[in-house]
Chain A
Amino acid sequence: MGRGTLILLGIIVLAAAGAVVVGAMSGDGPPPQPIPFPHDIHAGTNQTPCLYCHSSADESVDAGLPSVDVCVGCHMPGGVPMIAADSAGVRTLISYWNEGRTIPWVRIHDLPDHAHFPHMVHVNAEDLECQECHGQVEAMAEIQLQQDLRMGWCLECHEDRAVRTDCTVCHY
C-alpha cells in the first residue's frame, strides 16, 4: 500500500469522524435537560453572578453545581413557592425537592477523564471571563456547547497568553 493511499484512507475516516462530531454539536441541538433551565433569565435578565450558583469555580478544580437547596432558596423560601412559581420548570424543581430527589442534569461540558482542567486557576487568571470558554451563557435559553473543548483550542489560548503548553500541564 502506498503512502498516499494510507493517508487518503486516514482522511476518509477522519471526515466520517468529523461528521459525527459536527452532527453532535449542531444538528440535533443539546440533549433535553430534566428542567429546561434558562440561563438567559438567571444570568442575563436577573444578572445573577456565575459564582452564585457555581460557587467553587474560584477555589476548586470543579466549578460546582448548585445543590437543589440553592435553587429552592430563591424559588421556595420558607417553603412557599415564589418567583415564577407557576412555570413548568419551577414546578418540576419543587416536585424534585418535595420528593427529596436530586436533579439529574445532563452534562454538556464534558472533558475526557485524562484531561485535568482546574477551574480556579482560570477563573482567577487576569482578563479571562467564564464566557471565553462557555460562550454567552447569559443569552442562552438552554445551555449549549459553544466550543468543541478540543486540545487545539485549549492550546491556542495557552499560546496566546504564553502560559505553559506541555502535556503534563493537563494530562497526568
Chain B
Amino acid sequence: MSKNGTESGMERRDFLKVLGVAGAGAAATGCATEPDKLIPYLVQPEQVVPGIATFYRTTCRECPAGCGMTIRTREGRAVKAEGTEDSSISHGRLCARGQASLHGLYDPDRVPQALVREGERWSRVGWTRGEQSLTEALAAGDSAVFLTGAETGTMDRFLDEWCAAMGVRRVRFESFGHAALREANRRLYGRAALPIHDFANAEVVVSFGADFMETWLSPVDYAHGFVEGHAYANGRRGRFIAVSPHQSLTDLNADVWIAPRPGTEHLVALAMARLVADERGAGGPAVAALAEADPAALADAAGVGLDRIEEAAHDFASRPSLAVGPGVGTSNAAATALATAVAVLNEVAGNMGRTVRLGAEDDGGATHREMAQLIEEMAAGEVSALLVRGPNPLYELPDRDQVAAALDAVPFLASFSPFLDETSARAHLLLPDHHFLESWGDHVPRPGVHSLVQPVMTPVFETKQTGDVLLSVARRAGVTLPSSVSTYYDYLRERWRELQRVTGDTRGFDAWWTEVLQQGTLITDAYGEVGTPTPRAVDALAAEPAALDGDGELSLVVYPSYRFYDGRLANRPWLQELPDPVSKHTWGTVLEVHPSTAEEYGLDNGHIVELTTPHGAVELPVWHHPGVRPDTVAIQLGQGHENMGRYAKGRGVNPMALLAGRYDDAGGLAWVQTRAEIVPTGRWERQPFSSDQYDVSGRHVYETVSLAEAVEADETRGPVVAREDGALMGEDVGGVAEPHGQSIHPNESGRPSLQESGGFAPVMVDGSPQAYPPPGTHYGEYSEAQPRWALAVDMERCIGCSACQTACQAENNIGMVGPELVAQGRLIQWIRIERYFEEEDADAVHEMNGGAGHRKTAFLPMMCQQCGNAPCEPVCPVYASYHTPDGLNAQVYNRCVGTRYCANNCPYKVRYFNYFSYEWPEPLNWQLNPEVTVREKGIMEKCTFCVQRIRGAEHEARVEGRPLQDGEIVPACAQTCPGNAIVFGNIEDPGSRVARVVESNRGFRVFEELNTQSAVVYLKKVTEGGEGAAH
C-alpha cells in the first residue's frame, strides 16, 4: 500500500473530483425539464409578505388539556406548531402530540368532502345534499342521539342548544373521562369537579399511576411544574414516589417506586393517609374515612413493605406535597376508592387550597357504564339516528362485536369526523369537520381560562365546520335556535361579547376581539370563581382489593399512550415513528413483561406471544420491561386500528379486545380488570425498536452526582448559575461566576475550556489529542468576532418525553422511514432520547415489591455535539462535513456524496443516512419547512443546532442594524422542552445564559476523554443517596 496513493496513479480526492464532474455533466444533460413557474397572488393579502412567516395563536385540541399554541405559517400554509409563550397551560411548550398536530391537518387520508355510503362504496354527495339528507334522517325518527366529545365553552353550549331545539338527545363522552376523580370530589367536597394541581410548589409528589407527564389532565403544564418543583436547584431537590404496578414514562422519573399488586393501589393510599393524618394530628371530617385503616394490614394486602409506606408518608407529611391519581393504568374496579383515598390524603396533609384546587362542577359527560346503556338502546332499535362527532365507540369501547352490532342496528349513522375511523367507516353519511387548525372555536381548559381556536389557513379539503353544518340543518328543518346567527363564527363572537362584558372592557367589540385573538387566551378569573371547598364526612373507605377476572397467572395493566392518547392520534406518522419513550418501539404495540417472567417463559424481545384473557386474545411481540411487577404484564392503548388511514391501519393491537364492560363505582371503565395468560407462539420477528439498549453496557456515557455531593460542591465553591428570569435552569443565584478552579468529576478539563477553544482550529489529525488546541490557534483561521454556538442540557430536567424529537422532525424536514427500515436501524432522528436503566438499587430490591427491584432511569438527549475537534470532519473526502467559523459542525448536503465515513467515525452516532428518498404524500408535503433543504437518497444529515434559525436571526439583526440578543435564537428542541432542559446560546458571550449554565458544578461532556471538544455540556443527574458515579 502506498503512502499517499500517488503511485497508483491517482489520489482518492482526484478520483472523486472526476466522478463529481462526470455526475454533474450527466445531471446537466438530463435536466431538460420545464422551466419553473413564478405564480404571483391575484390580490396579495395585506398581512402576507412572501418569505416571512405569519404566526397565529390558537389552542391545541389534540387532547382535552387545551394548551395555548402558536402556529407558524408561510405563504398561507401551517409549517410548525409551538406553544404560546405566555399560556398558563402550555408555558410556551408542547408535547409530541401537539407538535404532530400538523400531521392531522395534512393527513392524506382525511375525509376530503361530504360523502355518502352506498354498500361498500363512498360517493361524493355535496354539502347541500349532505345537509339535506341529515335533516331528513333526523325528521324521520324521534329518538336521535348526538354523541360528542366532552366539549367545553362555546361549542358545548351550542351543541346543547341545537340538540334541545332539534329534539336530539346529546351524549358527551371522553374515553379518559376521569369519572372516579369527579366522584371522589363529590363525596369529599360535594362538588363533582376535576382537581387542578400545582406541581411546581410540591416538593414531594406521590403518583398512584397518574401519567401526569403524558396524558393525565394537563400533561404539559404538569410536566413543566414537576420539573420546576423536582429538579435540583438551590441545594434542594424534590422527591417523586410512584405507586403503581407498572411504570409508564412518568413513573420512570420516580426516585422511589412502590409496586403494589394490581387492584390494591388504593390500599397503599389509604395506609399513607392514615399515617399522614396521625403524624400531622389532622382532624376534621376527612379523617373519618380512615377509621378502619390499619397500615400494617393494608401494606400486607398490597404486597408492599410497611416501612416503605411509612417512609413515603413521613416525607409526604413533612414537606410541601401533592398526591395524584388514579390514572388509567391504576383504574380498576376500586378506582373511586383510590381517587377518594388520594383526595383524603391531600386533605389530611393540608394540600387542598395549596397544591390542589378544585375546578368547577362538571358532570364530565357519560361514563363508560352509561355508554354501555346507550349501546344497548341502539342494539334494541331505540335510537333512530346516531350522529357522532369526537368519540370513536367502535374502537374505544370494550365488547367490540356488541358495539358493531349496535351501530348496525341504528337506521342512520352520520359522522363528522375528519378521519375515516372505525365508527365513521360504518356511517351512512360523512360530513367531515374542519381540522381544528382550520376552525373557529374556543376551549375552556380550566375555570376562567378561555382559549380561542382560530383558523391558521384556508381548509386543505372541502370540509365544513360542524357548527355551520348544524346551523344549516336547523334552518332546513325550520327549527328556531335561541340565537339568530347565520354562521358559527357569529355565534362564537356573540358568546365572546358576553365575556367582554365580564371583563368590564368598554371598547367597541371588534377592537377588543382583535386584541384577544392576538393574545389567544382570556383569563377572566382563574380560580376565584371556584374557591377552596370544605370537606364533608365520608364513609370509612373499604379495604378490599379490587377483583380481577379470570385465573391467569398474570395481571393485565392497560395504560394510555403518550403518543396516541386513547388511539385518536394513531394516524400521525411522526408519532408512529417516534420511539415510545419507554420501550423505544415504533409503529406497533409490545407486551411489557418483567425480564424474570420473560425468562421463565423463555421469551426474548421480539418473540411473538398470544395473550389471552377471559374476554379475548391478541398476538403481539414481547418487550422486557424492568419497570413492571413480575406478576403483571402491560399493554399500551392506541394502536390496532382497523381503519383511520394508511398510517394507523393494521399497526399493533388494540388491548380493548382483552377487556369487558367492568366498571368502578363511578361508572368509569375498570381498565385494569382481568388476569391474562401468555401462550408463546414460538415465532420471533425483528421489531422496529429505535434502540435495544437498556443500560450503558459498561461504557462511560453519563454521570450522576449525589444530592449531598452537589450541595457540598455548591457550598464550597459557591452556587454558580443565576436564575434571575425564573426560567433559567440549574442552580442559584448571583450573576456571573468566576470559573472555579476544581472540578468535582474525575475528568479535570472543566467547562472554561469550551470558551477557550472557540471556533475551528486546524489541527493535525494524527497529532496528540492532549495537545489540542495547539498553542497559538485560539480561534484558528477565523475571526475572533465569531460566536461559538453551544448547548447545555440538564439531565435533571429531562423527563424523557421526546417532544424535542417530534419538534426536530417538524422543523427540519426529516423523512419518515417506516417500520421495516426502523427495524434495520435506518431511523432518522437528529435528536434522540437515550433511556438508560441504571443498576438495580440493592436497597430498593424489596421482596415485598413483588420481586421487582427499582432500576432508576436516566434520560440523555443526544444530538450532534458540534465537536470543536470533530472526528467526522477529517474523514470526509469531499469536505461536506466541515467546521463553520461560528463553531458548528456543518453538513453540506449538496457536497455530500454519501460515503458514510463520517457516520462511522462519529463516537456519538448522531449522523443519519438517507438510504432512500423518503416521501411526503400530498398534502403532507405542505408542511415542509421552506427554510430547510429536503434531502434525498444518498445524503448524510444531522443536527446543526437549527442553523436555519441561527441564520434567520442573524439576517434579521443585520437588517435592523443591531447585534444579536442572547435568547433570540431557540432551536426547535429547546423551544418545545416542557422541562426547559435545553439552553442554547453563544458560549463566547460571558453574559449569555448558556455560558453561565455550563459553569455549573454539575457540568460534564459525553466522551470527554475522546477530546472531541464538544459544544454540548450536560448537567449531571442528581441522585438521592450514595455517591455520584460515571455510567
A and B found bound together: yes
A48: interface (CB < 8 Å): no
- Describe A's contact surface by its main secondary structure: loop
Within 8 A of A (CB), among B850-907: 882, 884-885, 888, 890, 892-895
Among B39, B41, B890, B931, contact of A105 (Cβ-Cβ < 8 Å): B39
Contact string, A117-131, partner B, CB cutoff 8 A, digits 1/0? 011110010000000
Residues on the B chain within 8 Å of A80, using CB: none
Residues on the B chain within 8 Å of A16, using CB: 25, 29
Among B18, B38, B50, contact of A56 (Cβ-Cβ < 8 Å): B50
Q: Are B42 and A100 in contact (CB under 8 A)?
A: yes
Q: Are A6 and B39 in contact (CB under 8 A)?
A: no
- The chain B residue with its CB closest to the CB of A151 is B894
Contact string, A45-75, partner B, CB cutoff 8 A, digits 1/0? 0000000000010111110111111100000
Contact string, B553-588, partner A, CB cutoff 8 A, digits 1/0? 000000000000000000000000000000000000
Q: Are B35 and A168 in contact (CB under 8 A)?
A: no
Within 8 A of B (CB), among A103-157: 103-107, 110, 112-116, 118-121, 124
A13–B20 Cα distance when bound, in Å, is 11
Residues on the A chain within 8 Å of B10, using CB: 3, 6
Among B25, B39, B885, B948, contact of A104 (Cβ-Cβ < 8 Å): B39
A167: interface (CB < 8 Å): yes
With known contacts A17-B28, A61-B51, A171-B892, A67–B38 Cβ distance under 8 A:
no
Residues on the B chain within 8 Å of A113, using CB: 933-934
A97–B894 Cα distance when bound, in Å, is 40
Task: Give min CB distance, A30 to chain B, whole Å.
Answer: 9
Among B43, B884, B958, contact of A121 (Cβ-Cβ < 8 Å): B958
A2–B15 Cα distance when bound, in Å, is 11
Q: Are B43 and A67 in contact (CB under 8 A)?
A: yes
- Describe B's contact surface by its main secondary structure: loop
B36: interface (CB < 8 Å): yes
Q: Are A64 and B951 in contact (CB under 8 A)?
A: no
B9: interface (CB < 8 Å): yes
Among A13, A21, A69, A118, contact of B22 (Cβ-Cβ < 8 Å): A13
A160: interface (CB < 8 Å): no
Residues on the B chain within 8 Å of A64, using CB: 49-51
Q: Are B25 and A59 in contact (CB under 8 A)?
A: no
Within 8 A of B (CB), among A1-34: 2-3, 6-7, 9-11, 13-14, 16-17, 20-21, 31
With known contacts A60-B50, A121-B959, A172–B951 Cβ distance under 8 A:
yes
A102–B44 Cα distance when bound, in Å, is 11
Q: Are A17 and B959 in contact (CB under 8 A)?
A: no
Q: Are A116 and B951 in contact (CB under 8 A)?
A: yes
Task: Give min CB distance, A144 to chain B, whole Å.
Answer: 13
Contact string, B13-57, partner A, CB cutoff 8 A, digits 1/0? 011011001101110110000011111111110000111100000
A166–B889 Cα distance when bound, in Å, is 12
With known contacts A107-B38, A168-B892, A69–B44 Cβ distance under 8 A:
yes
B346: interface (CB < 8 Å): no
Residues on the B chain within 8 Å of A161, using CB: none
Q: Are A167 and B52 in contact (CB under 8 A)?
A: no
With known contacts A106-B37, A114-B933, A10–B18 Cβ distance under 8 A:
yes
A168–B893 Cα distance when bound, in Å, is 10
Among A2, A67, A106, A168: residue with most chain B CB under 10 A:
A168
Q: Are A67 and B944 in contact (CB under 8 A)?
A: no
- The chain A residue with its CB closest to the CB of B17 is A10
Q: Are B944 and A66 in contact (CB under 8 A)?
A: no
A164: interface (CB < 8 Å): yes
Q: Are A17 and B955 in contact (CB under 8 A)?
A: no
Q: Are B882 and A167 in contact (CB under 8 A)?
A: yes
Task: Give min CB distance, B40 to chain A, whole Å.
Answer: 4
Q: Are A167 and B890 in contact (CB under 8 A)?
A: yes
A6–B16 Cα distance when bound, in Å, is 11
Q: Are B944 and A172 in contact (CB under 8 A)?
A: yes
A2–B894 Cα distance when bound, in Å, is 28
Task: Give min CB distance, A112 to chain B, whole Å.
Answer: 7
A13–B191 Cα distance when bound, in Å, is 82
A172–B951 Cα distance when bound, in Å, is 9
Residues on the B chain within 8 Å of A106, using CB: 35-38
Task: Give min CB distance, B458 to chain A, whole Å.
Answer: 16
Task: Give min CB distance, A5 to chain B, whole Å.
Answer: 9
A172–B9 Cα distance when bound, in Å, is 36
Task: Give min CB distance, A133 to chain B, whole Å.
Answer: 16
Task: Give min CB distance, A128 to chain B, whole Å.
Answer: 13
A-B contacts, 16 of them at CB < 8 A, read A13-B25, A14-B24, A14-B25, A16-B29, A56-B51, A59-B959, A61-B51, A64-B50, A66-B40, A69-B44, A101-B42, A105-B39, A105-B40, A106-B36, A168-B884, A172-B933
Name 20 extra pairs, CB < 8 A, besides A69-B44, A105-B37.
A3-B10, A10-B18, A11-B21, A56-B52, A59-B959, A61-B52, A62-B50, A64-B50, A66-B40, A68-B40, A102-B40, A102-B42, A114-B894, A116-B931, A116-B948, A118-B951, A124-B959, A166-B882, A168-B884, A171-B895
Q: State the A residues within 8 Å of B (CB).
A: 2-3, 6-7, 9-11, 13-14, 16-17, 20-21, 31, 56, 58-62, 64-70, 97, 100-107, 110, 112-116, 118-121, 124, 164, 166-169, 171-172
Shortest 8 CB-CB contacts between residues of A and residues of B: A62-B51, A60-B51, A13-B25, A17-B25, A67-B41, A67-B44, A10-B18, A107-B36
